Chains A and B, each alone.
Chain A
């Protein structure tokens, strides 16, 4: 009986050895799937390079136009549908005002650089276009403000606030 057990054991070992040889190797394959979902919602971000602009006082004859010392950088980021129009507008809160004296804000104009940015002039009644673009993306440009320097202005420090609105539908 003991011999029988030994023989069986040897035969089993031989079988296992045979199975581990390449002659018995068989391909092994398994697959699994993972469903991926990405949500992208509409978003907009507007960044101005400065919080204020100051025009230095100048002789009207020597400098008939006051120009802002540095261009205002404008960075527009928007995420929207491919065909949607992204718009950037600006609206003045009031005319340039110093006490009871005013300078029409419509004389506060700007030139622009950068794709999609446009030149224009300020208004207190209607938001004025600063730029427009199609679809998602990041856009950068500059606005350089200027103001006629007239002998007729009363002395004073005139201020207004320009409100920018970026819309990405």
Chain B
């Protein structure tokens, strides 16, 4: 029985258009409504190092007085979202002196040069965090750190390790 209510398509289209025009002609005047949209932007920081480890191969102190770390410069990416005038600081602290059992070599024998805007050269320390870079306000900053080991004849033999902890912070 559905065929009884079927309308030819050529008739149906004009009827729908007429209905729409009728609806517009009888629409209510424009109304205003206030909606409050809350957007929460918290401080956020992300720090990325290109490698999780660096090693300094054995070398003759005469031939290589400053041993470069492998695998080459450490790429550092700093992403931070903070207030426009807030200071961002990236620092690094050694977990200990270089240690091989009971033998130690001062952590300060590791130094670095730096490239990239805001990144600075420095010397590793196990008691005071040393600046790696500083910036103002939000943004993404990229640079690199080339770590060097001061290679002396006086170093005792051994395989020495320590951990460098980088901290990115903003107030």
Which positions in A face B, CB cutoff 8 Å?
1-4, 7-8, 11-12, 15-16, 19-22, 24-43, 45, 77-82, 135-138
The reply to whether A28 and B164 form a contact with Cβ atoms under 8 Å apart is: no
Stretch at the interface among B8-16, B115-123, B149-157: B149-157
Q: Measured between alpha carbons, how far is A32 from B100 in the docked complex, in Å? A: 23
Task: Look across to chain B and name the residue whose beta carbon is closest to the beta carbon of A3.
Answer: B32
**Can you name 12 A-B residue pairings with CB atoms under 8 Å?**
A7-B34, A19-B41, A20-B41, A28-B168, A29-B170, A30-B45, A32-B47, A32-B49, A39-B55, A81-B156, A81-B157, A81-B158
The reply to whether A32 and B166 form a contact with Cβ atoms under 8 Å apart is: yes
The reply to whether A34 and B43 form a contact with Cβ atoms under 8 Å apart is: no
Q: Measured between alpha carbons, how far is A4 from B105 in the docked complex, in Å? A: 69
A43: chain B residues at CB < 8 Å are 58, 60-61, 153
In chain B, positions 45-74 with a C-beta closer than 8 Å to chain A are 45-49, 51-58, 60-62, 69, 74
Q: Which of A1, A26, A35, A37 has the most CB of B within 10 A?
A: A37
Interface check B159, CB cutoff 8 A? yes
Selected from B61, B159, B160, B166, the residue in CB contact (under 8 A) with A33 is B166
Count of CB-CB pairs between chains A and B under 8 Å? 182
B170: chain A residues at CB < 8 Å are 27-29
Interface check B6, CB cutoff 8 A? no
Tally B residues with Cβ within 8 Å of A: 66
B58: chain A residues at CB < 8 Å are 39-41, 43
B47: chain A residues at CB < 8 Å are 30-32
Interface check B131, CB cutoff 8 A? no
Q: Measured between alpha carbons, how far is A44 from B64 in the docked complex, in Å? A: 15
Selected from B110, B147, B157, the residue in CB contact (under 8 A) with A40 is B157
Task: Look across to chain A and name the residue whose beta carbon is closest to the beta carbon of B84.
Answer: A20
B161: chain A residues at CB < 8 Å are 35-38
Interface check B144, CB cutoff 8 A? no
Q: Measured between alpha carbons, how far is A33 from B58 in the docked complex, in Å? A: 23
Selected from B83, B149, B154, B159, the residue in CB contact (under 8 A) with A20 is B83
The reply to whether A19 and B39 form a contact with Cβ atoms under 8 Å apart is: yes
Given A1-B30, A30-B47, A39-B56: 4 more A-B contacts, CB < 8 Å:
A31-B166, A34-B164, A36-B53, A45-B62
Knowing A45-B62, A81-B156 are in contact, say whether A34-B35 is a contact too (CB < 8 A). Answer: no
